[in-house]
Structure 1
Amino acid sequence: MKDGPDIARIAALVGDPARANMLSALMDGGALTASELALEAGVTLQTASSHLAKLTEGGLLKLKSQGRHRYYALSGYQVAAMLESISGVAASSGPTRTRPGPRDSSLREARICYDHLAGIHAVDMFESFAARGILEVQDETVSLGPQGHGFFSARGIDIETLGKKSRRPVCRGCLDWSVRRSHLAGTLGAAILDKILTEKWARRIEGSRVISFTPPGKRAFEKTFLPKL
Structure 2
Amino acid sequence: MKEGPDIARIAALIGDPARANMLGALMSGKALTASELAAEAGITLQTASSHLAKLEGGGLVHPRKQGRHKYFSLTGSDVAAVLEGLMGLAAGAGHLRTRTGPKDAALRRARLCYNHLAGDMGTRLFDSLIARGHLRRDGGDLVLTEAGAVFAHDFGIDPDGLRTGRAALCRECLDWSERRSHLAGSLGRAFMCRFEELGWARADRTNRVVTFAPHGARQFAALIGSADA
In the alignment, does 2:40 pair up with 1:40?
yes
In the alignment, the residues of structure 2 paired with residue 131 and residue 45 of structure 1 have an alpha-carbon distance, to the nearest angstrom, of 48
Going from structure 1 to structure 2, the CA distance change for 1:139 and 1:159 (only over 3 Å counts) comes to same
Normalising by the residue count of structure 2, what TM-score does the alignment of the two structures yield? 0.94
In the alignment, the residues of structure 2 paired with residue 74 and residue 209 of structure 1 have an alpha-carbon distance, to the nearest angstrom, of 15
| Mapped contact 1:140–1:173 kept (Cα < 8 A) | no
Q: SS of 1:27's equivalent?
A: helix
Partner of 2:215: 216
In the alignment, the residues of structure 2 paired with residue 88 and residue 101 of structure 1 have an alpha-carbon distance, to the nearest angstrom, of 19
Structure 1 stretch displaced more, 71-80 or 131-140: 131-140
Matches within 5 A, 1:1-229: 1-95=1-95, 97-98=97-98, 100-138=100-138, 140-164=140-164, 166-205=165-204, 207-224=206-223, 226-227=224-225
Question: Structure 2: 5+ residue runs without aligned partners?
Answer: none
Q: SS of 2:32's equivalent?
A: coil
Overall identity of the aligned pairs, in %: 55
In the alignment, the residues of structure 1 paired with residue 52 and residue 88 of structure 2 have an alpha-carbon distance, to the nearest angstrom, of 24
In the alignment, the residues of structure 1 paired with residue 70 and residue 185 of structure 2 have an alpha-carbon distance, to the nearest angstrom, of 27
Offset, 1:144: 1.2
In the alignment, the residues of structure 1 paired with residue 151 and residue 10 of structure 2 have an alpha-carbon distance, to the nearest angstrom, of 39
Question: Structure 1: 5+ residue runs without aligned partners?
Answer: none
In the alignment, the residues of structure 1 paired with residue 218 and residue 8 of structure 2 have an alpha-carbon distance, to the nearest angstrom, of 45
Offset, 1:96: 5.1
How many equivalent residue pairs?
227
Q: SS of 2:225's equivalent?
A: coil
- The letter of the residue matching 1:75 is T
In the alignment, the residues of structure 1 paired with residue 126 and residue 70 of structure 2 have an alpha-carbon distance, to the nearest angstrom, of 37
In the alignment, the residues of structure 2 paired with residue 179 and residue 139 of structure 1 have an alpha-carbon distance, to the nearest angstrom, of 23
**Cα shift readout 1:95-149 (whole Å, capped 9, x = no counterpart):** 3543743211000000111111001001011001111101103564211134211
In the alignment, the residues of structure 1 paired with residue 21 and residue 106 of structure 2 have an alpha-carbon distance, to the nearest angstrom, of 19
- The letter of the residue matching 1:188 is L
In the alignment, the residues of structure 1 paired with residue 100 and residue 71 of structure 2 have an alpha-carbon distance, to the nearest angstrom, of 30
Offset, 1:206: 5.2
Q: Say what the alpha-carbon RMSD is for the aligned residues.
A: 1.6
Structure 1 stretch displaced more, 183-192 or 214-223: 214-223
Q: SS of 1:26's equivalent?
A: helix
| Mapped contact 1:133–1:146 kept (Cα < 8 A) | no
In the alignment, the residues of structure 1 paired with residue 205 and residue 144 of structure 2 have an alpha-carbon distance, to the nearest angstrom, of 33
In the alignment, the residues of structure 1 paired with residue 125 and residue 115 of structure 2 have an alpha-carbon distance, to the nearest angstrom, of 16
| Mapped contact 2:90–2:96 kept (Cα < 8 A) | no
In the alignment, the residues of structure 2 paired with residue 137 and residue 219 of structure 1 have an alpha-carbon distance, to the nearest angstrom, of 28
**Cα shift readout 1:141-167 (whole Å, capped 9, x = no counterpart):** 211134211111111111111101x22
Going from structure 1 to structure 2, the CA distance change for 1:206 and 1:63 (only over 3 Å counts) comes to closer
**Cα shift readout 1:143-197 (whole Å, capped 9, x = no counterpart):** 1134211111111111111101x22111100000010000000000000000000
- The letter of the residue matching 2:119 is G
- The letter of the residue matching 1:172 is R
In the alignment, the residues of structure 2 paired with residue 223 and residue 140 of structure 1 have an alpha-carbon distance, to the nearest angstrom, of 30
| Mapped contact 2:63–2:73 kept (Cα < 8 A) | yes
